[in-house]
Amino acid sequence: MSVVTAVSLSKGHHFSKPNALEIRLLAGLGVAGDAHMGVTVKHRARVMRDPTQPNLRQVHLLHEELLDELRDKQFVVRPGELGENITTRGIDLLGLPVGTRLHLGECAVVEVTGLRNPCVLIDRFKQGVMAATLDRDANGNLIRKAGVMSVVVVDGDVRPGDPIRIELPDGPHQPLKPV
């Protein structure tokens, strides 16, 4: 079963986000009260390049299995500490195609837009964690494991323990790329 294990938000542009009892997702905007909420991009480096870009990074989801993997590499990282809004378990987020809709809890829906591209802030959080969130496949291609980004399609509240239902887009499916 796919489930939400934690929800997090931060009013300021801080790397880690404190856990909350629930978050409210707002269609076309993101997480109510989060610094990355908005129609246009809020990621500071991207705003400097072009503040009119659409915000394809309204909600960051991270699979808790990555935290388990980091723990095995001697890094203790808790939900929300890598900046995600929603921590999940039991879903292969990185294997989803672009346009996948995730139904969270009773009514919230997000649409996956792409991969989170790990940046140097991860190493500022804990030295060595960035390298631990990157890997190579059998062909030598880079694998980014720091979660996926999405936009909110349907409003709703999301809480730890909420089920996640996956709705794949019509084919052909496009693999996720960094956004």
For 44-82, write each residue's pLDDT tens digit: 788 788 989 999 999 999 999 999 999 999 999 999 999
So where are the chain's domains? 3-167
Does the domain formed by 3-167 have CATH 3.40.1280.10?
A: no
HSE at residue 156, side-chain half, CA atoms within 13 A, is 17
Identify the pLDDT of residue 46. Answer: 81
Identify the pLDDT of residue 119. Answer: 80
135: amino acid identity, one letter: D
Give the angle 66-26-90 at the CA atoms, nearest 5°.
Answer: 25
- Residues of the chain under the 70 pLDDT cut: none
Q: Rounded to 5, what percent of the chain is helix, strand, coil?
A: 15, 35, 50
pTM for the model stands at 0.96
Identify the pLDDT of residue 47. Answer: 79
Phi/psi of residue 61, each to 5°? -110, 140
Give the angle 21-22-25 at the CA atoms, nearest 5°.
Answer: 165
Q: Of all helices (H) and strands (E), which one includes residue 11?
A: none
b/e per residue, 130-168, with b = 16+ CB within 10 A?
Answer: bebbeeeeeeeeeebbbbbbbbbbeebbbebebebeeee
What is the percent of the chain with per-residue pLDDT over 90, rounded to a whole number? 88
Identify the pLDDT of residue 29. Answer: 98
Question: 112 by DSSP, 3-state: which?
Answer: strand
